[in-house]
Amino acid sequence: MSAETPKVAELNLPQAFLLLATNDQHGTPQVPIYALRTTLAGAILAELDLIGAIGLQGKRVRATGTAPQTDFQHELELIRSKSRPHTPKRWVSMLEGRAEVQRVYEGLAALGIVEHVGEKHLGLFRTVRYPEKDHAPEAALLKKIQAELSAAPSGAGTPAPAKSDATATNVGVPEAGAPASAKPDVQAPDARTTALIALLQAAGLLGKLVPATDKIRTSELAKDYWPSRAVEDELRMIRLAEEEEPGL
Q: Side chain identity at 112, as an amino acid letter?
A: G
Instruction: Give the closest residue to 71 by CA, choosing from 47, 91, 95.
Output: 47
Domain parsing of the chain, residue ranges: 8-168+187-240
Q: How many CA atoms lie within 13 A of 77 on its CB side?
A: 6
Percentage helix, strand, coil for the chain under 3-state DSSP, each rounded to 5: 50, 10, 45
Distance CA 208, CA 102 (A): 23
| Separation between Cα atoms, residue 75 and residue 170, nearest integer Å | 25
pTM of the model: 0.81
Cα distance between residue 8 and residue 21, in whole Å? 16
3-state secondary structure at position 87: coil
pLDDT, tens digit, 9 for 90 and up, residues 146-201 = 999 987 664 433 333 333 333 333 333 334 444 444 444 445 679 999 999 999 99
CB neighbours (10 Å) of residue 85?
Answer: 17
Residues in the chain where the model's pLDDT stays below 70: 1-9, 120-125, 152-188, 245-248
User: What pLDDT is recorded for position 87?
Assistant: 97
Superfamily grouping for domain 8-168+187-240: yeast vps74-n-term truncation variant domain like (1.10.3630.10)
> What DSSP string describes 100-113?
HHHHHHHHHHHTTS
Q: Check: CB of residue 161 under 8 Å from CB of residue 186.
A: yes
